[in-house]
Structure 1
Amino acid sequence: MGEITSTLWQLDNRELVACISASERKLRRDYAEHLAFLAEADARGTAYSLGYSNTTALLMHMLNISRSEGNQRLAHAAALNDAKTPTGAAIEASIPLTAKKLDTGDVSVGQVEVIRRFVGSLDHLEPEKITLAEELLIERAAQDDPNALARFGERVVRDIVDPDGKPPNFDAPQRPERELRRHTYSDGHLEFKGRLDAETAVLFNELLKPFEKYEADDPRGYAERAGDAFGDVLQQAANCPDLPTHNGLKTEVAVTISLNQLMNLAADHVLPGTQLTTADARRICCDAHVLPAVMGGASKPLDIAVPAYTIPAHIRRALVLRDRGCTFPTCERPASVSHGHHIVEWQHGRPTAVDNLVLLCGRHHRLMHRSDWKVELKDDVAWFIPPDFVDPERKPRRNLLHRQESRAS
């Protein structure tokens, strides 16, 4: 690179402009290759296998890009590349002509985004009309910047391929003001939908607001932030002293596992009779209600000890005073929704003590248990060592946000 820049002064203006044009075409071809890598990584679940909840979160840590840029790259990768579902079914690229043009450097990243969005808005049309729309946009892209191309699509292409617009969506019959429909799948996850009356909707939104606040460089989209916020509200409701009882006990989720299994089974081993892996059980045991029991040969309980929390209240208060919130770098989640995480897992012999614990929000607690991130405590400060695919030098990082708040208070 140094040799090139040292001779640039020798180029006349036409030669310099030609070099700019050639380098731009190379950038576009490299972007097409980059999208192919992303499509493959997303299809095979690479991010999840490395401990991340989604590919965007992995890209943010690896490439230091924003959530919006990561989401856009993944959207481009999905639109321009064929993919296979987990069952083996093939999904064709939605804008294959654009993919070919990007691969030859004939369309820009901004034009790709315009075409992707426009074609995506035509999903109610027959495939032939969608193909025609993409052909018209590709032809025009040779002379229009992204903004002009978007106007051309709305004013010209839409009149040709979709003059009537989307069919009207007639109102459904009147339904109850409040309802909740839910379905639990065989793998344990739950999907639900419902509706609330205006008064309850205000209460619902106000409960979620403190927890779904957008954080800088948060890899989660709006829906994922809302889902995590809903989980935080449920967590606080479960800890409420006025929670109704069932058969004399507050609602609990019980997981039975032997200490030998907890210590020795592989992290991805699914526990019998559950959808939980051993890694999930270890994460839950970081900050849970533990009931020691002696079981007979047929799993018959012979002796039940007094239940106890792995992290007692006085230790949790000390953690809140020290950490103030989730200690993971750049995370702003407060202590009220954070879990106590054992730096060295308690089942491996380390005590449940302040110098072996840090506060982590649910998302980063899962990341620590599923990935190669490590944490060390030095002078009451949690330092996180990233995996080598995030930082080859594995330089420790820390969260400065809560410490700044504590100094200001």
Structure 2
Amino acid sequence: MGEITSTHWQLDDRELVACISASERKLRRDYAEHLAFLAEADARGTAYCLGYSNTTALLMHTLNITRQEGNQRLAHAAALNDAKTPTGTVVAASIPLTAKKLDAGEVSIGQVEVIRRFVASLTHLQPDKVSLAEELLIERAAQDDPNALARFGERVVRDIVDPDGKPPNVDQPHRPERELRRHTYSDGHLEFKGRLDAETAVLFNELLKPFEKYEADDPRGYAERGGDAFADVLQQAANCPDLPTHNGLKTEIAVTISLDALKTMAADRVLPETQLTAAEARRICCDAHVLPAVMGGESKPLDIAAPSYTIPAHIRRALVLRDRGCTFPTCERPASVSHGHHIVEWQHGGPTAVDNLVLLCGRHHRLVHRSDWKVELKDDVAWFTPPDFVDPERRRRRNLLHRR
């Protein structure tokens, strides 16, 4: 492959073009199969089982593709394949005719993207109108490239299936300039919605801006970057010496459990009266306040020691000077939002010492704890060994962005 064989150069021009067309049809059929695998992996939660926050992040590491390409492939997989919800309900593909044409090698990847986007803009129409739009686009796809197909959709198909456009939104109730609505779910995660006046909005955006900087190989989308940036701002606010107190104390979260139980408990075991698993609690303990307590026979506290940091301030300063930021390969997150991670975990006897600690941002800290990524220090440099599904040879990698 890559060299012109004796067979290739003997082909005349028409035969050569026929071979190119045949290979293109094969690529399209292979892409349809690829999307079916992706749809199954995404529905099954394969990425989460392997320690990744989402399927795009897994694809970036295993296929060495960009976040944009990973997101597009997942969008195609969702649109062209039926999906089964956790309750067992089957959600039909949104563009089933396109799926059949791609499986036969009769539409290109660019045409699939045009049809997917156009159909997604018609969700306010009845299903028969949406199906008609896909039929018209599929018929035209036999002679139009993606750009021409998109123009045909907007100028012709939309006039046929959606001549009036989306109905106007007449519901415009008066709302205060600032509001924040929060809802905490049973598993502990929080959803919120709100609005800010113009002055506060500028302050809010300026606070987030340094933390949501886009990185070339970042698997997160715009919303995910914003969420992580918001968490970073909250973390820095929590460390502010001027943080207001409640009943004379700064905000703390206490989990009462014996040290031996926390060390030996199964990773997926949920701690009593919490939504935290043992693995999550051990990760948090990598860089958190530890409050020693002596309990009586009826679990009554007899003595409470003064809080101490698992990672003392002088050791954290040494980590910042050495690592300069998150040590995970290609990550640009600064030290100010990075956690201290024990290479040999503390529950396995790992010491809280500079030569057993590295800085990791929240996202990569979770990844290292959940997955088969391994880290070791050599000559004060953190080296990471990827899982075999990322690199079968498991070649070590390091972060070259925080140069000393």
Where on the TM-score scale, by shorter chain, does this alignment land: which range?
A: over 0.9
Q: 1:399/1:3 Cα in 2 relative to 1: closer, same or farther (>3 Å)?
A: closer
Distance 1:342 1:291 in 2: 19
> How far 1:6 sits from its partner (Å)?
4.6
Deviations 1:18-51 (A, max 9, x none): 1111100000000000000000000010000111
- 1:118-133 matches, within 5 Å, as 118-133=118-133
Distance 1:256 1:386 in 2: 35
Tell which deviates more after alignment, 216-225 or 8-17: 8-17
Deviations 1:102-154 (A, max 9, x none): 00000000000000000000000000000000000000000000000000000
User: Match for residue 27 of structure 2?
Assistant: 27
> How far 1:247 sits from its partner (Å)?
1.1
- 1:9-408 matches, within 5 Å, as 9-403=9-403, 406=404
Q: Which amino acid aligns with 1:70?
A: G
Q: 1:326/1:3 Cα in 2 relative to 1: closer, same or farther (>3 Å)?
A: closer
RMSD: 1.2
Q: Which amino acid aligns with 1:205?
A: N
Distance 1:258 1:89 in 2: 42
> How far 1:12 sits from its partner (Å)?
1.4
Distance 2:341 2:321 in 1: 15
> How far 1:257 sits from its partner (Å)?
2.5
Q: Which amino acid aligns with 2:208?
A: L
Distance 1:367 1:2 in 2: 38
TM-score by length of 2: 0.98
> How far 1:379 sits from its partner (Å)?
0.4
Distance 1:184 1:326 in 2: 30
Runs of 4+, deviation exceeding 3 Å: 1-6
Q: Which amino acid aligns with 2:105?
A: G
Identity %: 89
> How far 1:4 sits from its partner (Å)?
7.5
Deviations 1:326-358 (A, max 9, x none): 000000000000000000011211210000000
Deviations 1:294-323 (A, max 9, x none): 223443222222221000000000000000
SS of equivalent residue, structure 2 residue 214: coil
> How far 1:171 sits from its partner (Å)?
5.0
SS of equivalent residue, structure 2 residue 212: coil
> How far 1:273 sits from its partner (Å)?
1.1
SS of equivalent residue, structure 2 residue 341: strand
Distance 1:3 1:189 in 2: 55
Q: Which amino acid aligns with 2:70?
A: G
SS of equivalent residue, structure 2 residue 33: helix
Distance 2:50 2:28 in 1: 29
Consecutive unaligned residues in structure 1, runs of 5 or more: none
Distance 1:151 1:74 in 2: 24
Tell which deviates more after alignment, 177-186 or 304-313: 304-313
SS of equivalent residue, structure 1 residue 276: coil
Tell which deviates more after alignment, 119-128 or 80-89: 80-89
Deviations 1:235-271 (A, max 9, x none): 0010000111111110112222321222112211111
Distance 2:12 2:268 in 1: 62
Q: 1:6/1:298 Cα in 2 relative to 1: closer, same or farther (>3 Å)?
A: farther
Deviations 1:64-88 (A, max 9, x none): 0000000000000000000011111
Q: 1:260/1:158 Cα in 2 relative to 1: closer, same or farther (>3 Å)?
A: same
SS of equivalent residue, structure 2 residue 119: helix
SS of equivalent residue, structure 2 residue 402: helix
Tell which deviates more after alignment, 253-262 or 313-322: 253-262
Distance 1:66 1:210 in 2: 22
Distance 2:8 2:162 in 1: 50
Distance 2:157 2:297 in 1: 73
Distance 1:4 1:47 in 2: 40
Q: 1:167/1:2 Cα in 2 relative to 1: closer, same or farther (>3 Å)?
A: closer
Report the number of matched residues.
404
Distance 1:67 1:170 in 2: 37
Consecutive unaligned residues in structure 2, runs of 5 or more: none
Distance 1:261 1:164 in 2: 64
SS of equivalent residue, structure 2 residue 388: coil
Distance 1:23 1:258 in 2: 63
SS of equivalent residue, structure 2 residue 376: strand
Distance 1:194 1:2 in 2: 56
Q: Which amino acid aligns with 2:367?
A: L
Distance 1:392 1:339 in 2: 29
Q: Which amino acid aligns with 1:334?
A: P
